[in-house]
């Protein structure tokens, strides 16, 4: 990272901190935070619910809750975005509990191959592609979330830890446990 990029990142971080602090007493100051993160949160929610209108509604709820609770937000070195994503995760989970709808998982070629590399070491990729939707459906919600963060959204274990409010090491352990479970399910299912 060049010195100019570093200074720019530091400046953006300081500006964000100022906006957060101002938002705690002035709701109008929340607008730059909303504008900065709206698209990422919307896409995050859309990947989970699969319907644009529902995703928009849930995203609005995320930002409404964030605005209502911004006074409780503390700057402790964690990114503001991690806090927003945690709210989004909770909103999605609440949505699925209330509506009893099934969670959407979108698979593409690269995701199948990436998961295959983690689960298998031989030439069973086509078989995995066929079984993967059923295997993913068999995972618990928290296991599926880990797999999505790591392989669908290509997040680091550090980011996953921040999003789930767990340590980086625990994020890694839980992810590899979910992968082990997927491997067992793959081998068990005909």
CATH number of the domain bearing residue 49: 1.10.1740.10
pLDDT at 66: 93
Domain match, 51 and 94 both? yes
87 plus 165 within the same structural domain: no
Tell me if the pTM is above 0.75. Answer: no
Query: Which pLDDT tens digit goes with each residue over 178-190?
Result: 988 988 888 776 5
72/142 same-domain check: no
Q: What CATH number is associated with residue 181?
A: 1.20.140.160
* Residue-level pLDDT at 109: 65
Q: What total of structural domains would you count in the chain?
A: 2
12 and 90 in a single domain? The answer is: yes
In this structure, the answer to whether residues 176 and 157 fall within a common structural domain is yes
Average pLDDT of the chain is 83
61 and 17 co-located in one domain: yes
Task: Write down which residue in 99, 132, 152 finishes a domain.
Answer: 99
Domain that residue 154 falls in: 109-188
Residues 21, 84 share a domain:
yes
Is residue 29 located within the same domain as residue 69?
yes
Q: Which of residues 99, 132, 156 is at a domain's end?
A: 99
According to the 3-state scheme, what is the secondary structure of 91-126? HHHHHHHHHCCCCCCCCCHHHHHHHHHHHCCCCCHH
Q: Is residue 104 part of a domain?
A: no
% the chain with pLDDT above 70: 81
Is 30 found in the same domain as 87?
yes
Of 47, 81, 99, the residue at which a domain comes to its end is 99
> What is the rounded average pLDDT of the residues 154-159?
90
pLDDT at 154: 86
Q: In this predicted structure, which of 128-137, 141-150, 172-181 has the lowest mean pLDDT?
A: 128-137
User: Does 147 have pLDDT greater than 50?
Assistant: yes
Tens digit of each residue's pLDDT (9 = 90 or more) over 47-91: 888 889 999 999 999 999 999 999 888 877 778 888 999 999 999
140 within domain boundaries: yes
On whether both 90 and 26 belong to a single domain, the answer is: yes
Q: Compare 179 and 9 and report the one with higher pLDDT.
A: 179
Query: Phi first, then psi: what are they for 117, rounded to 5°?
Result: -60, -35
pLDDT of residue 120: 59
pLDDT tier at 8 (50, 70, 90 boundaries)?
very low
pLDDT tens-digit series, residues 101-129: 776 666 666 666 677 666 655 556 677 77
């Amino acid at each position: 990272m060049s010195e100019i990029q570093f200074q720019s990142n530091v400046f953006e971080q300081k500006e964000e901190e100022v906006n957060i602090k101002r938002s705690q007493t002035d709701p109008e100051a929340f607008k730059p935070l909303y504008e900065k993160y709206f698209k990422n949160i919307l896409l995050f929610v859309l990947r989970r619910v699969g319907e644009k209108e529902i995703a928009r509604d849930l995203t609005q709820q995320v930002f409404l809750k964030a605005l209502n609770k911004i006074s409780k937000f503390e700057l402790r070195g964690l990114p503001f975005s991690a806090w927003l994503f945690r709210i989004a995760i909770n909103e999605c989970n609440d949505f699925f509990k209330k509506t009893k709808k099934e969670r959407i998982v979108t698979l593409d070629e690269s995701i199948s191959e990436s998961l295959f590399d983690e689960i298998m070491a031989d030439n069973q990729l086509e078989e995995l592609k066929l079984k993967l939707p059923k295997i993913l459906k068999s995972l618990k919600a928290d296991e599926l979330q880990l797999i999505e963060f790591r392989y669908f959204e290509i997040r680091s274990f550090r980011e996953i830890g921040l999003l789930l409010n767990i340590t980086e090491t625990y994020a890694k352990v839980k992810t590899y446990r979910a992968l082990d479970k997927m491997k067992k399910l793959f081998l068990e299912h005909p």
